[in-house]
Structure 1
Amino acid sequence: MNPPAGTSATGQGGLPANGSGGATTGTPRRPAWRAELVPHREIARAWEQFHQDGAASAVIRPAVMASWQRSRLHLIAADRAAAPVVSEAELFRRRHQNNRLVTAARLAMEEARHLLSDAHSMLILSDPDGTILEAEGDARALDTGQEVKLQQGGLWCEAEIGTNAIGTALACGRPVQIHAAEHFCAPVQRWTCAAAPVRHPFDREIIGAVDISGSTDTFNPQNLAHAVALAHQIEAVLGRRMEMEHEQVLRHFLSKRSLWLTEEILAFGRSGALIYSTDRALKEAARRSDRLIADGRLTALKDVTPDAWAARIAQLLPGASVEIVREDGEEIGGVVVLHAARRPKPSPRDPQRELEPLSFDAIIGESAIIEEVKAKARRMAESGLPILLEGETGVGKEVFARAIHGVRAPVGPFVPLNCGGLPRDLIASELFGYEKGAFTGADAAGKQGKVEAADGGLLCLDEIGEMPLELQSYLLRVLEDGVVYRVGGHTGRRVDLRLVSMTNRDLTGEVAAGRFRKDLFYRIAALRLRIPPLRERGDDVLLLLDHIGRSAAARAGLPAPRFTDAARAALAAYAWPGNVRELRNVVEMLIAMGSADTPIDVADLPPEIATAAAAAPPATDLRTVEEAAIRAAVDACGGNLTRAARRLGIARSTLYMRLAALERDA
């Protein structure tokens, strides 16, 4: 048997074939996952001998030899031409199942598209079974990879295609580089690959792998280090996301804590990870089942989809109550109260009621800029044209969308969809719906999509800039024709809806970069409205502070919070990078952690707000500056208080109160 194509007497990557890897006395020992520099010809001879009689060779690294032996047990043929490929429906299911992994890897994959565009290499993301979920990089490498099915849907576990970087890294649980003849199957030996497993940031279970693959002449020992770094990057993204979700669950727990007259409470996140538990709850859970909690999680929820959490807990813990916590419509965790009978029932929350239309008068704010934006939005809503709401994260774009929804009668349903919180394939089924049998796991009766659900009402597409380019043409056709086709279906359904899209991106820049279709942009942005950030809204911060405080306290059954003047000044002066959403989170945290008997002071505020307050000028200086600004504005406007208020960016009523206060102080 001849040596595989691409092999030579030189070392890997064209390095000298000394067979020693350049190791000398005193050289630091390499990590076990680093490939030693062994001549291709020796590896090829050892590969040929192994396939003839199963003989092991000392020139083959132990990890590779162990993989060859596993491959032989799997009955993999040496001339197997390509990996198998799952069906399109099965790929859809697996991508949906690994949505969080795909989302966490999105930045790395986007960077690979540019960094590897001329490197004859590609970056691959696989699930824990070796199914390729994503592949980005050099177009030539992507095309060549299809010859051996190194593509989306390809199955690259050892049991299907023998020794390869993806499958071997998953099998042995550590990074590995497989170069040329080290691959078990001859047709794959034109490739060099470096892969590292991606692990769950908390329990360290393998949840996938990242791989850098290219032709044998692209071999670079640093590719393995790069793959390891990318795996760590994805794990870090997942870890930060999970920490944020855990904080959100804990915040929900704290806001409701006073309503539960029991200490037998558990708070959990995804996969049943325990976020909070009392000793009494742990003892009660152990009494009911010694296997209910293990390794810091509710074990019964480890492999359960979020929509089945409540049912599974009800089955295991009869009589317990469960509150599922959602963020942007997605289940992120929950709170279990083991003895629900002790808990007084709060006012029921009807999800549909939360989506009822608002009036523009319900939008809190009296600043000149927000009054102007509300007036523009009202005129836009009356036109019925598609509207694009632009603004930073957390400014309240959906509140404006709901107010726009409520302007025209009859209002019809308000149907929101976050385009950035779903994998590419799931967006299609959520937006357009699907027919029965469209893919594995599909509802037997099919499912109506958001477009159909919004018929006669308003479709609100959040993070529209995140919509995959390949789906944008379908959305454009639906908007232009008023007809939607479900995934897997051939029958059109006519729809009549209004559209409000929302984004925190510069869509004109996305269009220029080729990431957003120009024709779709003009279709959804017939009218454009910028929602101002909280830092531009002046005293609206204090109005929102009082409103959010009263609402949050009422939900918790507590009196409205009281703030010292210094705390109010600090909250008003803070820049609020997270806008209204950040303000709401801060207020809810202060209520949950504070005491009803003591007003909230600067020391109680989050460190970033208290630090900013400490750096601000003394209050006396602020009053002097404020008085000078007000009097200058009134003088400049010839005593016209309406114009002066507009010039200062505050409401006229606020200006009246400030002038009255200045007169009293005088």
Structure 2
Amino acid sequence: MIGENYSAALNGQQFVTKERWEAMKQNKERFLKNESENPCDFPYMNQAVAESWIRSRRLGVNPFEPLIGKYVDSEELEMVLYKNKLLIDITQNLFNSFKKLADSSGYSLYLFDKDGVSLLYSGVLYQNKDSGWLAGKPGIIRNESTVGTCAHVLSMRYKCPIQIIGPEQYCVAFKNMIGSSAPILDAQGEVIATLVLNQELINPTFDSNYQKLCIHTLGLIMAMAEAIQVQIELEKKNQYVSSVNNDLRIAYDTLEATLDCIDEGIVNVNQTGQIIRMNRQGLRIFNLEPNRIANKNIRDFLDENSNLMKFVSNGEKTSVEEIICINHDEQPYFIDIHPVLNQDTCQLTGAILRFNHVKKINAMVNRRSGAMASYNFADIIGASKAMKKAIDLGNRFAGLQETILLSGESGTGKEMFAQAIHNKCCPQGPFIAVNCSALPRDLIESELFGYEGASFTGADRNGRPGKIELANGGTLFLDEIGDMPLELQPVLLRVIDNKQVMRIGGRNYKKVNFKIIAATNKDFEKVIEEGLFREDLFFRLSVLTIKLPSLQERENDVEILRNYFIEKYCKKIGRQVPQVNAAAKEKILSYSWPGNVRQLENAMIYAINVSQDNTITLECLPDTILKEKSGELDRKSANERENALLTMESWEKAGIQIALMRANNNIPLAADLLEISKATLYRKIKDYNMKL
């Protein structure tokens, strides 16, 4: 109904007539004198105006107050003006054009924000005789709670243009004013401000010309509001475009800087391989200047057997290893291929190629897989002449290129020696250890030499480098070399001689440069006589030989190592270092230690966990040590005796003994510590013939 009323007003069906003016004056007097009257029932009353009168009264607006409205404080006004700067700047231009007309005709023009705070004024300043109040000062608050019913209040409320006459306005200060107002809306149709044009009528004539003038005034304020609204949208669009362009420039510059920070070559190519752009690292890889990539094609740098462009043309997201040739220098690179599609058509437009040198990838793989050497010669404990001699030889041989063979019984520290030699000669390179006896016979070839993609069933699609390839720039440690299959020995010999390796299923040799250290606990003369090891490979591996002494050959090192292992383990578990009584010391020194240093360390760990009252006694030592008496044990090989020591049964029995000791022979508590059932614990105690 409200919309229909204002549509009628805009169509000129409600004129500013004398009858309407006089009727509204009477309606106003009637309403102000009698609070029980409902203005909605008055003649000539617009329902929106009547409802606003009622709200104004409820809000406590004094219609006779000479000081109309109130001001915001200076800080708040500053914020309001700053927030509406664009609106004010655009409106000011229109107000400047309107100023001459306003000055000559007696009109006044206002701009209010959505809260009714005056932002701008143009025209005649009306002064209230009683208060001296000037209407044109910015910051005055004119909303329904301060001035009651007026044109811009209703215009904001109903989001439409409106014109009301003096008596319709709630406050008597506006009794001779005709107010024409139009809202300024944002893109979502919400009010952001209103324009108000006031006309003062001292002696209204109410003739047809004046009625037309009023209608034209409403049309003028509507046109101005529309012009401001359009101009604001244009300015915002221009600002948006400018902001987007600026954001795009910032994004582009940021992307450029980011790509240049990446230590991988990033190359963008189209479907034919034409290079579109590349980052700084890419320019370094291909030895190009930024202005020289326009006519370059990635095919110019690829091997004739390359499959790279096949994957690019097919839009495949994959990784390949390729040889890149720059100025006759061939270098292996690992290349990630990421297809680029048109976002609108989803058609393939090219690819992003990411280049990583194989040497860098191998180094990363080695670090992730723990292929690093942690021991130095300073970490090798021992004061015996035999050990000092071995350490001296290791230091001297480390700087030489020849292969080194470490021989000695199991547990003498061959891998520790190998790591120390590596850290002496090439600490920055990888340390790749291969246990030739631990690898399955059918896998050792692929583990050592690697393979190309699809070389055999189950092979990785992209192939995989072997241990020899991964050792490039570092050390290849071949432990238990005497157990290497006979059929692979000539291939290894060729690699050692030529420093080249070919993967299984490969077509090209790859250059490798590494130091070889081999280790064995076997009698090579016997192995060679039995035809299990090639004599020429043995001679090639044993150019420099270091014999690591057994623990029995190391004089007083047993005592030194005993104390070292006890202190090391106690520090690890945060326990006070226990004393070793005389009987235990004597047994430790007299024992033959067939498992060498490894067996001694394990025995000390066991003794610490079994000991009570912070003392290691004879009874704390493992049963294997306690049972040894002169002439009572067969002289088994060191390997056999070490294996007997390290059986699962012996460790399980030791674990049960420790749990029972900590639980004071409380079976349920000991079972909880071992995370097994009580029935299982009883059965194992019986199986091991243990006494409670």
Shorter chain as denominator, the TM-score bin is 0.3 to 0.5
Which of the pair has more CA radius of gyration? 2
Instruction: Report the TM-score when normalising by structure 1.
Output: 0.38
Instruction: Report the TM-score when normalising by structure 2.
Output: 0.37
- Structure scoring higher RCO (CA < 8 A, sep ≥ 6) equals 1
